[in-house]
């Protein structure tokens, strides 16, 4: 209050008390809470980006890094990797990014600069990954190592920025602790799976591959020795 005139709360227009709305029925004296379309769009934006950038992208990266090391998984790992990344790009890069633009135009006075910049960078990185995969050099090309390094660095940057931006979005949406804990549980599970696969492919798989030629050599030597004795 200022000179008997109601004033805005000190928290500003983005505070929760300003966002709360409802309809008052003067006849019954009841207040009915209303849910604005912007709130629904924010929730859709958050769900799309969490599922795409925060879950599908890491799963696709894990598939590409570890599943391709198993000869029996070739070329299945490639199709699974491409499917995860394309679906994540459609949900997050196109739908999630599009809903973010709509939210920005509907709220010109509210601009979350850090979250917005990271979202733009993620969209650019994902777009470069998708179109770069279409024109990637052949395995025998001298430019293939440069493409592999770009693909690796862009993928790691996308994963780190996306997870950080998802938690940033939780803060902006004032999400309940349940959603934070649920997503944290998913990320920890993926990290545990990654650690187990790293151990399996780095130490167990090479030993198996080394033992197979040794076994074949021993069998071949045995066959040659038997054949010599028979002759």
- The residue among 183, 192, 185 whose CA lies nearest residue 163 is 183
- Is residue 31 classed as helix, strand or coil in its secondary structure? strand
Q: How far is CA 41 from CA 86, 164, 178, in A?
A: 23, 21, 20
How many CB atoms neighbour CB 169 within 10 A? 23
115 is in an annotated binding site: yes
151 labelled binding-site residue: yes
Distance CA 120, CA 201 (A): 35
For residue 57, give the nearest of 167, 172, 154 by alpha carbon.
154
The CA distance from 8 to 22, in Å, is 18
Ligand-binding annotation for 81, yes or no, is: yes
112 is in an annotated binding site: no
Binding-site members are: 45, 81, 115, 151
Binding-site members for heme b are: 45, 81, 115, 151
């Amino acid at each position: 209050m200022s000179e008997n005139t109601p004033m805005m709360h000190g928290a500003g227009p983005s505070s929760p008390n300003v966002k709360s709305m409802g309809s008052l029925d003067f006849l019954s004296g009841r207040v009915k809470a209303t849910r604005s379309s912007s709130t629904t769009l924010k929730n859709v934006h958050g769900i799309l980006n969490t599922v795409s950038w925060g879950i599908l992208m890491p799963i696709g990266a894990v598939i590409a890094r570890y599943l391709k090391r198993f000869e029996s998984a070739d070329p299945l790992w490639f199709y699974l990797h491409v499917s995860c990344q394309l679906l994540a790009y459609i949900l997050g890069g196109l739908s999630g990014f599009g809903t973010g633009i709509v939210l920005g135009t509907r709220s010109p006075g509210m601009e979350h600069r850090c979250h917005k910049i990271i979202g733009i960078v993620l969209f650019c990185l994902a777009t470069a990954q998708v179109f770069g995969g279409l024109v990637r050099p052949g395995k025998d090309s001298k430019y293939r190592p440069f493409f592999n390094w770009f693909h690796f660095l862009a993928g790691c940057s996308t994963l780190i920025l996306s997870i950080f931006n998802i938690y940033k979005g939780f803060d902006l949406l004032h999400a309940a602790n349940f959603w934070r804990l649920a997503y944290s549980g998913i990320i920890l599970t993926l990290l545990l799976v990654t650690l187990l696969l790293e151990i399996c492919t780095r130490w167990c798989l090479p030993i198996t591959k080394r033992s197979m030629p040794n076994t074949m050599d021993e069998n071949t030597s045995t066959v040659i020795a038997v054949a010599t004795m028979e002759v």
